[in-house]
Amino acid sequence: MQAVGTTIEEAFAFAAIALIDSMCNVGAVGGSVNEELHVEAPDEVILLYNWLELLLLRFELEHRVFSRFGTLKITRQSGKLLLDAKASGEMYDKEKHGAKVEVKAVTLHRMEISRTDQLTIVRFILDL
């Protein structure tokens, strides 16, 4: 999968939407649940992995699905990258949101983040 943004934060938000849309119809997800999400990592690639893995775990274990990431901020503190996001979504309902593919895991295989003058591009593979 690939997601593109004008900033790394925007690219991470679009990557999250791509992940969720691979599992269900992200356009049908409302915003009745608001949560603050946090992950950290030593570098950007591991941060992307941890971010997508967190969203997958929320879906699988807590049946939560998100469709909007109003605030997503990446900062560096004490040698680590921190991602803090405010996410909106709701409890997953198969009838309302549909079901597409079952994502078993996010993989690190060939995960990459690249930049051009104006864009950040993230690429990742899902284990289906």
pLDDT at 70: 84
Q: What is the pLDDT along the chain (128 residues), one digit of tens a residue?
A: 999 999 999 999 999 999 999 999 999 999 998 999 999 999 999 999 999 999 999 999 999 999 999 899 999 999 999 999 999 999 999 999 999 999 999 999 999 999 999 999 999 999 99
CATH code assigned at 17: 3.55.10.10
- Cα–Cα distance between 64 and 57 in angstroms, integer? 9
Cβ contacts of 99 within 8 Å, gap of 6 or more:
23, 24
Q: How many domains does the chain have?
A: 1
Domain span at 6: 2-127
pTM score over 0.85: yes
